Chain A
Amino acid sequence: MMLWYKAWLETRMRFSIALVLCVAFCSELIISLPRVGSGKVDLVGLHGVHYALVFVWTLGVTLLMMGGLLSEKALGSSSFTLSLPVSRLHLMTARTLVGLIESVALAAAPWIAMLILAGSNGEPRRYLTQAGFHIFFLLAGGSTLLTIALLVSTLIEGEYTAPIASLGIIILLAYTFSGNDFLAYSPISFMTGLRYFNRHTGALAGTVPWLPALAFIAVSICLFVVSVKIIERRDF
């Protein structure tokens, strides 16, 4: 439990800034959107803002996952951490789980703000379901990006080079999978929910795509395991 406490203290400043930025950015976009009917924002508008959220969420989560033992090695505090009676696996797990919880908050809080500001246009249940769908897509696809950032933080110890490298990989990933043939394999495309967006209804439709979601989560687990193995074999 104390490792969770440590991970929280380590990331809380970055998390707070990312949370404020995500909520403020999405809120500003909602406020600036054209209104329909009784002055509400329609689902198409919300879907558009979700695109922007994918961008800031990725940025925020990348920064949140920086740190860890390699960064501590650069700062000199890794010796204290490694002298504690805990395994490197436990250290990594606690840090990742705290990052995961924070990333859920980074996805949910902006959507709560968006729903409040947009109004439900008389369909609160539908708006809530759509919010849930979007958050699901964002987190399932985003878990891959989260663990990419984790992996990079176990390979590069620079305070600035690690997040830059991580974002570089994510941009490369987005570019590589941008062709129509590969779009289904793109975690970023999945995060936006584009493939499930119905232009006529202005909402995400169809059954919950469990299989691709689980595939992205499986990739994330693999990346986590690789990160742990790297840290376990590393000299500090």
Chain B
Amino acid sequence: MSCVPSIHTKNLTKAYGSTQAVRGLNLAIKPNQITAFLGVNGAGKTTTIKMLLGMIRPSDGDASLLGTSIRDAKESVRMRRNIAYVSESKQLYDYMTVGQILRFTRPFYSDWDTSLEKELLDTFELPVDRRIKTLSKGMRTKTALLLAFARRPKLLVLDEPSDGLDPIGIEQMLQKLVTLCSEGTTVFFSSHQIAEVERVADNVCMLHRGSLVLDSSMDEVRQSYRQIDVGFSHPIDQSAMLMPGVESIHCSGRQMRITVRENAELVMGRANDLGAVSVESAPVGLREIFLEKAMDSK
């Protein structure tokens, strides 16, 4: 297995006037794994993805996809043969039918898998003779996913892929992502659906206001992140609990809720040293971490 990151960004930045949409992003997305890209609306996820695919020019920094710099326009075209992208809007050409857009897209990719195309047409129940204009949002999303999956990409970039899909469609899509990943495709997808991410992602990155606030494997998230509820018999200054690994502290009277990303035992020990009457530790879900990081900055 290759150790070269499928996506590697170095200080990647995009500014619109005085507004920085993406601030000095440093990412290294591992190959042959599924990485979720989280963030609230306007966090900079789509801008990042568009910079990676050459649709938006970075203001500063650099990035490479599959070992090719995004700043090299000619190489970027060649690189796109190995990359599939499903945009947030899922908009395709309204004037084409499903069959026509398949006919149009197929010749661009030498690895196009016709049998997978047929399988997905059946699975997604897509009508080849229908104009894209007349398809529902869910059907459009399925068409966009089919066009991305059937080209057998080395890197699959999806922006909110489950948007518009019903639960069955989401299930089919997630299963396909896992299958493609097991066959050697690196998947990088942005989503607001934490449950989906927890089910399929190997790694998770989170962007907030253009900055990377979380970059970890799901295993690390599950094992390391803890929520510690501490009860004191007397009021205590929360700064006493500030130590390495503490992500946030919320105080309510004599109760304190501490979120830690590491050193949970040390934090619990400190609480005991300070005379805590109760100390309870529980694992934290990705949803709580997401909300914590998003709300903290507000």
A residues contacting B by CB (< 8 A) are 1-2, 5-6, 9-10, 13, 75-80, 82-87, 232-233, 235-236
Contact = CB atoms under 8 A, between A and B. Distances in A.
Contacts of B104: 2, 5-6, 9
Contacts of B78: 85
B84 interface: yes
B55 A82 contact: yes
Contact of B91 (A6, A76, A84, A233): A76
Interface in B44-87: 50, 53-57, 73-74, 77-81, 83-85, 87
Contact of B93 (A6, A13, A85): A6
Given A10-B95, A235-B56, A236-B55, 5 more contacts: A9-B93, A82-B54, A83-B53, A83-B84, A85-B80
Where chain A touches its partner, the secondary structure class is helix
Given A5-B104, A9-B100, A236 B50 contact: yes
Given A85-B81, A86-B77, A87-B73, A80 B54 contact: no
A77 B147 CA distance: 14
Nearest to B89: A76
Contacts of A232: 73
A13 B95 contact: yes
Contacts of B74: 87
Contacts of A235: 50, 55-57
Contacts of B109: 85
Contacts of B80: 83-85
Contacts of B83: 83
A75 B53 contact: no
Contacts of A79: 50, 55, 85, 87-89, 91
B17 interface: no
Contacts of A77: 89, 91-94
Contacts of B96: 6, 9
A50 B239 CA distance: 86
B144 interface: yes
Contacts of B50: 79, 235-236
B216 to A, nearest CB: 28
Contact of B56 (A5, A75, A236): A236
B77 A80 contact: no
Interface string B88-111: 110111111000100111011100
A132 B62 CA distance: 55
Contacts of A75: 91, 94
| List of 8 A-B pairs having minimum Cβ-Cβ separation, nearest first | A76-B91, A79-B87, A76-B89, A85-B80, A83-B85, A85-B81, A77-B91, A235-B56
A80 B108 contact: no
B57 A80 contact: no
B89 A85 contact: no
A187 B147 CA distance: 44
Contacts of A87: 73-74, 77
Contacts of B94: 75, 77
Nearest to B82: A85
A85 B77 contact: yes
With a 10 A CB-CB cut-off, give which of A78, A80, A233, A235 has the most chain B CB atoms: A80
Nearest to A87: B77
Contacts of A80: 85, 87, 91-93, 144, 147
22 contacts: A2-B107, A6-B104, A9-B96, A77-B94, A78-B55, A79-B55, A79-B91, A80-B85, A80-B87, A80-B92, A83-B80, A83-B83, A83-B85, A84-B80, A84-B108, A85-B78, A87-B77, A232-B73, A235-B55, A235-B56, A235-B57, A236-B55
